[in-house]
Amino acid sequence: MQIKNIIEEKNLKLTAARRELLEIFNFEQRPLCFEDIKDKINMDKATFYRNILMFEKESIVRGFESNDKKRYYEIQGSAHSHFICNLCNDIECLDEVRPKKLSGYTIVDTIYKGICKVCNKES
Amino acid sequence: MQIKNIIEEKNLKLTAARRELLEIFNFEQRPLCFEDIKDKINMDKATFYRNILMFEKESIVRGFESNDKKRYYEIQGSAHSHFICNLCNDIECLDEVRPKKLSGYTIVDTIYKGICKVCNKES
DNA sequence: AGATTCGTGCGAGTAAGTTGCATTTAAGTA
DNA sequence: TACTTAAATGCAACTTACTCGCACGAATCT
Ligand SMILES: [Mn+2]
Ligand SMILES: [Mn+2]
Ligand SMILES: [Zn+2]
Ligand SMILES: [Zn+2]
């Protein structure tokens, strides 16, 4: 979907900062934190976090905390779970669609933590 | 298991601080962060975090990051997964034993995020 | 007792994220 | 196209969950 459409669909102003952010998240299609992209973007960190907050509220991106105390954000696409390595802190998107059900709960995200393929081989 | 045994099994010194921590974690049997217990314990936060680090290294407790940017620690018992509510930040232990397998990966922990029973009723 | 080792308290430092405020800008209206 | 205004931005100060260096203290060994 076009970035312009994403923004207009939610009745948000299309600013340079928002376009920049959505272009990166749309291209990368993986979870990124502020540190990952701060050198590629042309805005203050306050602007980054305020826009991300808005994107999360509007369900344009989704975020989660990783082991490194940073929050990672990813554009909303098809539902999938994530694997976070306890050793190298790498985050992987798993293609698995989670049919997991828990009565009374709404499961939005599933995160597996453990040791990734690379780190498993090295040990 | 007795606290004294847990410590001696790992060849650690049983200090007052360590006994205090393990007594609380053993009694509570749920994930706790520093803030949760700081008023119940008699040690500096540096001592708390240094001992927790040791406990994690020795697989006496296990920790994970929650939505509130705090790390929660829980004594190692039977394997189970956790649910973290995106609205009230409550953490629940799920009795489910994870049968989940992923080739090449070692899954140590599973965290579900979403909306808990209480918050689901309120909305 | 003296020496070595490990644990602890204290205070300062770190870093991700947040907030208040003055200024700028997108976008609707004339 | 100029005018208007609410919303977005940059900057700097702030918050907070840890982390680290260091001096002191307690246990253990000889
Ligand atoms: Mn993903
Ligand atoms: Mn638990
Ligand atoms: Zn890894
Ligand atoms: Zn809840």
Q: What is the DSSP letter of A67?
A: T
Q: Are B111 and A89 in contact (CB under 8 A)?
A: no
Residues B54-85 have pLDDT tens digits of 999 999 999 999 999 999 999 999 889 999 99
Residues B4-43 have pLDDT tens digits of 888 888 889 999 999 999 999 999 999 999 999 999 999 9
Residues A69-81 have pLDDT tens digits of 999 999 999 889 9
Residues on chain B touching A109 (C-beta within 8 angstroms):
112-114
Instruction: Give pLDDT < 50 ranges for chain A.
Output: none
Among candidate residues A59, A80, A70, A75, the one with its CA nearest the CA of residue A36: A70
Q: Domain ranges in chain B? A: 3-75, 81-122
pLDDT level of residue B96 (50, 70, 90 thresholds): confident
Rounded distance from Cα A54 to ligand 4 centre (Å): 21
pLDDT of residue B97: 65
* Statement: residue B2 has pLDDT above 90: no
CA distance B18 to chain A (A): 24
Q: How far is the CA of A46 from the C1' of C28 (A)?
A: 27
> Rounded distance, CA B74 to CA B63, Å?
6
CATH topology of domain B3-75: Arc Repressor Mutant, subunit A (1.10.10)
Task: Indicate yes or no: CB of A102 within 8 angstroms of CB of B83.
Answer: yes
